[in-house]
Amino acid sequence: MRLNLQTDYALRLLMHLAVNKDTLCTIAGAAARYRISKNHLMKVAHILGREGFIETVRGRAGGLRLAGPARDINVGAVVRLMEADLAIVECFQGGKNECAITPACRLKGALNEALNAFLEVLDHYTLEDLTGRNAKLRALLAEAA
């Protein structure tokens, strides 16, 4: 299983904002820090803002910040939001399933169990778990004061 690029960028942006919780961060700054596309990150920021994970402050001195404490942002919830399609195999796609062995297949159950276990593990982590007391991460992502 592989997470899509938007999910990866969303988690990285949230981590960046959590490390820099006392300052407004820019999309350009986060994109430069991670060496990723500013345009892709802008789309991700829009989604995270629309869903209440981050706040945007407009204007010349504007930027982004977390909408709440990092301890309240669940990693599993972010992954579910950003992953538009968790149908990891054809038979998970409902009406689009044309697999010939579906009536007798036990693979779907095993894969569903694995997917649920993956998400359940992520549900045990918050943004604070990933960024709090992480001096190495802070050194890598801290905005210049």
- Which pLDDT band, with edges at 50, 70 and 90, does 144 fall under? low
> Does the residue 99 lie in any domain?
no
> Does the residue 95 lie in any domain?
no
> Does the residue 113 lie in any domain?
no
Could you tell me the residue range of the domain that residue 46 belongs to?
5-84+127-141
pLDDT value at 40 more than 60: yes
0.75 exceeded by the pTM?
Answer: yes
The C-alpha atoms of residue 79 and residue 119 are separated, in whole angstroms, by 8
Average pLDDT of the chain? 92
Given this model, what pLDDT does residue 26 score? 96
What CATH number corresponds to the domain at position 132? 1.10.10.10
Q: Which of 74, 70, 89, 83 is nearest to 132 (CA)?
A: 70
Largest CA distance in the chain: 61
How do the residues of the chain divide into helix, strand and coil, expressed in percent and rounded to 5?
A: 60, 10, 35
Identify the three-state secondary structure at position 56.
strand
Total structural domains in the chain?
A: 1
pLDDT value at 97 more than 70: yes
> Does the residue 76 lie in any domain?
yes
> Does the residue 46 lie in any domain?
yes
How far is C-alpha 28 from the chain's CA centre?
18
Please give the residue that has the higher pLDDT: either 84 or 53: 53
Alpha-carbon torsion, ordered 43, 49, 55, 59, to 10 deg? 50
